[in-house]
Amino acid sequence: MHIFAIANQKGGVGKTTTAVNLAAALALSGHRVLLVDLDPQGNATMGVGIDKRTLSKSLYHLLLGLASVREVRQRAPTCAIDVLPTNRDLAGAEVELVDLPRRESRLKDALLAHAEAYDFALIDCPPSLSLLTLNGLCAAHGVIIPMQCEYYALEGLSDLVNTIKQVHRHFNRDLKIIGLLRVMFDPRSMLSNQVSLELETHFGDKVFKTVVPRNVRLAEAPSHGVPGVLFDRSAKGAQAYLAFGAELAERARQWMGAPGAQTEGRS
| The only residue of 1, 14, 136, 145 in contact with ligand ATP, by rule CB under 6 A | 14
| The only residue of 134, 181, 218, 252 in contact with ligand ATP, by rule CB under 6 A | 218
Q: Is 16 in the site for Mg ion (CB under 5 A)?
A: yes
**Helix, strand, coil % (nearest 5) of the chain?**
50, 15, 35
> DSSP assignment, residue 242?
H
- For the beta sheet containing 207-213, the strands, ordered from the edge strand earlier in sequence to the opposite edge, are 74-75, 81-84, 33-37, 120-124, 2-6, 142-148, 176-185, 207-213
The CB-of-144 to ligand ATP minimum distance in angstroms stands at 12
Per-residue contact flags (x/-) with ligand ATP for residues 89 to 128, judged by CB under 6 A: --------------------------------------x-
45 binds, among ligand ATP, Mg ion, none (CB under 5 to 8 A by kind): none
Q: Is 42 in the site for ligand ATP (CB under 6 A)?
A: no
Site for Mg ion in 29-48 (CB under 5 A): 43
Choose among 147, 131, 132, 29: nearest CA to 84.
132
One-letter amino acid at 3 equals I
Chain residues that interact with Mg ion, rule: CB under 5 A: 15-16, 43
Footprint of ligand ATP (CB under 6 A): 11-17, 39, 41, 43, 127, 183-184, 212, 214-215, 218-219, 222, 237
